[in-house]
Amino acid sequence: MIKTAEKLRNKKILVTGAAGFIGSNLSMAILKSVEGASVTGIDNLNDYYDPSIKEYRLEQIEKTAEASGSGWTFIRGSIADKKLIEDLFRDGSFDIVVNLAAQAGVRYSIDHPDVYIESNIIGFYNILEACRHYPVEHLVYASSSSVYGGNDKIPFSEEDKVDHPVSLYAATKKSNELFAHTYSKLYDIPSTGLRFFTVYGPAGRPDMAYFSFTDKLRRGEKIRIFNYGNCKRDFTYVEDIVTGIMNVMSRAPEKSKGEDGLPVPPYRIYNIGNSSPENLMDFVRILGEELIRAGILDADYDLDGHMELVPMQPGDVPVTYADTSRLEADFGFRPQTSLREGLRRFAEWYAEFYL
């Protein structure tokens, strides 16, 4: 992280979705570790999930900024607001943009398609247009493992075809990659897309399985285990994700010319995951043990009695498994946090926040 921090020194950085799970952790990491960095965050603080968690994250960022003496500015607004984004870029003179603002959730996209088009398509287009008219050194943006759809080949490689999404959310993320490639080609904008694999950790998204399972188990309700427990997920701890993002931020794809004299798109895509998928049933048992350890559940809690095995949900896939060899080769980066350690940190945070 030291070399990465040196490369980001004195940079002006925009983080969209700054009150989100990954955005808030990234903002804090930059403020803590990068000398002279100035971070501007934007988020619309929508109510897709409990806004109090977003407010909590913003408070943590502000405390971090005060302790480090680094520059932090927050703007409440939507990246789908074209004038707001244009004004922000014109006045901000950003060196690096990290676009993490998006409407998340696979299942939610089935019933609420409009918000995905607004944020993930129109919002990302506005970011690209702003990078075109107010050039930046590097645009880093969130894609998703969901672009792999129903691919049977595992682990998922960046070289695999991603032409068969199984949810609207996945389709919007695939479109982000296509848009970014086009703008990189036409306007020589260095851009890197990151396909995230099941990010988890303290103050995470309440709609994610580990968080919603915790809520339900605490209330004595049953949790639904999809595909009868025959699922595997490449769970990746949020601090590992942030380290990976900062590595990528520090090195933009190089600009070059092709034989035709036109720009070769300075464009890259990376998987960023744990490259070690966990069986969902094993995950639930580890979570249960850590919730008991943290005092959230009683020591004699009947976990098996609170599980209901159900079929696969529309839009879901049975396995996510990242081939991260490209990221490791280019940056020497591999996640370090075990699932038990990560879930322990989550359980400790949950107990502190809710109990």
Confidence of residue 229 (pLDDT cuts 50, 70, 90): confident
CB 107 within 8 A of CB 65: no
Of 350, 333, 314, which is closest to residue 194 (Cα–Cα)?
A: 333
Do β-strands 138-144 and 263-264 pair in parallel, antiparallel, or remain unpaired? Answer: unpaired
Token pair belonging to 278: 């966990």
Q: Which residue has the tokens 């959310």?
A: 169
Catalytic residue among 169, 183, 237, 270: 169
CB burial readout 310-326, b (16+ within 10 A) else e = eeeeebbbebbbbbbee
Distance of CA 73 to the CA centre of its chain: 21
Mean pLDDT on 334-348: 96
Q: Worst-scoring range by mean pLDDT, 13-17, 83-87, 309-313?
A: 309-313
Q: What is the model's pLDDT at position 2?
A: 57
Q: Catalytic annotation on 169?
A: yes
Q: What is the model's pLDDT at position 237?
A: 97
Q: What is the model's pLDDT at position 335?
A: 92
Q: Which helix (H) or strand (E) holds 116?
A: helix 113-116
Confidence of residue 308 (pLDDT cuts 50, 70, 90): very high
Q: Which residue has the tokens 């020497």?
A: 332
Q: What is the model's pLDDT at position 111?
A: 86
CB 135 within 8 A of CB 158: no
| Distance in angstroms (rounded) separating the CA atoms of residues 216 and 218 | 5
Residue pLDDT, tens place only, 151-197? 878 899 999 999 989 899 999 999 999 999 999 999 999 999 999 99
Q: What is the model's pLDDT at position 215?
A: 97
What's 276's DSSP letter?
-
CB 264 within 8 A of CB 256: yes
- Provide the 3-class DSSP secondary structure of residue 300: coil
Q: Whole-model pTM? A: 0.95
Q: Is the pLDDT of residue 1 over 60?
A: no
Of 288, 161, 167, which is closest to residue 216 (Cα–Cα)?
A: 288
**263 phi/psi in degrees, rounded to 5:** -60, 135
Domains (ranges, CATH) in the chain? 2-197+237-273+322-335 (3.40.50.720)
Confidence of residue 276 (pLDDT cuts 50, 70, 90): confident
Q: Is the pLDDT of residue 263 over 80?
A: no
